[in-house]
Copies of this chain bind each other. A is one copy, B any other.
Amino acid sequence: MTEPMYMRISEDLRRQIETKELRPGEQLPTELELRQQYDASRNTIRDAIKLLIGNGLVETRPGQGTYVVEKMDPFVTTLSADPGTGAPGGDGGAYLSEVSEQNREAFSSPPQVGIQKAVGLISARLRIPEGTNVISRHQQRFIDGTPWSMQTSFFPMDFVTRGAARLIGADDIQEGMAQYLADALGLKQVGYRDWITVRVPNSAEADFLKIPMDGRVPVFELLRVAFDESGTPLRVTVTIFPTDRNQFIVNVGDVPPPLSLPKEDDQERTG
């Protein structure tokens, strides 16, 4: 009796989904039907479904119903690459190639370029005074037509005056940002630091990523600071990924290639 009703309902529905009693793509009973099945109020049913959404097991479509998510393979971003070699995963340059390796169709919107004053976190990470102008480049990304991530990169303004004019152009930099900064300014990127946090989306993020704006689906915030040989920050990139369809992998040392893409989302009870 100690376990709340919404949790028991959620666990029962989860079991049905994991045992394929409810198949991917299938519609769950409506809230009204579930209310009758479990003899609970509509709000209690909705509390139960919220937990399933947080687990990425179902999605709700207003006006239609609640559906078991198609086992859309989660997109896996590898944060660590062979140091020195190819561009790292998750970064602008490597995005398209990494996606195509997984037999998926990637698309990036043209960059929305702007100039703004660096404040707070951005100025601190770029190590420039608050209020200094910075270039921002914002892109929205899709995989197989599904909105996947939102990325904004920030560069010191003087990169442009020193010769990297394409930074303020609204065109993709095909060769990759690290390569372009090396070519245009002689700045050699030797490493980066990623900082991973989780929070609830703001309304702009929820809107683009097609996730509920009430916080049931959190987002990863990946903040990447790239450095040159002298340890000077070259750029700050913030990427937002919805947690219901994104995962990260970090390889350290010698590791064998993955056997296959993860296909199980099993919740092993580790407690």
The reply to whether B6 and A214 contact each other, CB–CB distance below 8 Å, is yes
In-complex Cβ contact of A254 among B150, B190, B195, B256 (8 A): B190
Contact code string A180-222 (vs B, CB < 8 Å = 1, else 0): 0000000001111111111110111100100001111010100
Bound complex: CA A138 to CA B269 (Å): 11
Bound complex: CA A238 to CA B247 (Å): 15
In-complex Cβ contact of A193 among B84, B203, B250 (8 A): B250
Inter-chain contacts of A249 with B (CB < 8 A): 193-196
The reply to whether A270 and B138 contact each other, CB–CB distance below 8 Å, is yes
A81 at the interface (CB under 8 A from B): yes
Question: A123 to chain B: closest CB distance in Å?
Answer: 11
Contact code string A78-98 (vs B, CB < 8 Å = 1, else 0): 011101100010000000000
Bound complex: CA A64 to CA B266 (Å): 37
Binds B, one of A22-30, A51-59, A159-167: A51-59
A72 at the interface (CB under 8 A from B): no
Supposing A120-B268, A190-B253, A231-B256 touch, asked if A198 and B240 sit within 8 A by C-beta, the answer is no
The reply to whether A198 and B218 contact each other, CB–CB distance below 8 Å, is yes
The reply to whether A254 and B268 contact each other, CB–CB distance below 8 Å, is no
Select from chain B the residue with minimum beta-carbon distance to A263.
Answer: B124
A121 at the interface (CB under 8 A from B): yes
Select from chain B the residue with minimum beta-carbon distance to A78.
Answer: B193
The reply to whether A252 and B150 contact each other, CB–CB distance below 8 Å, is no
The reply to whether B269 and A204 contact each other, CB–CB distance below 8 Å, is yes
Inter-chain contacts of A197 with B (CB < 8 A): 74, 243, 247
The reply to whether B271 and A208 contact each other, CB–CB distance below 8 Å, is yes
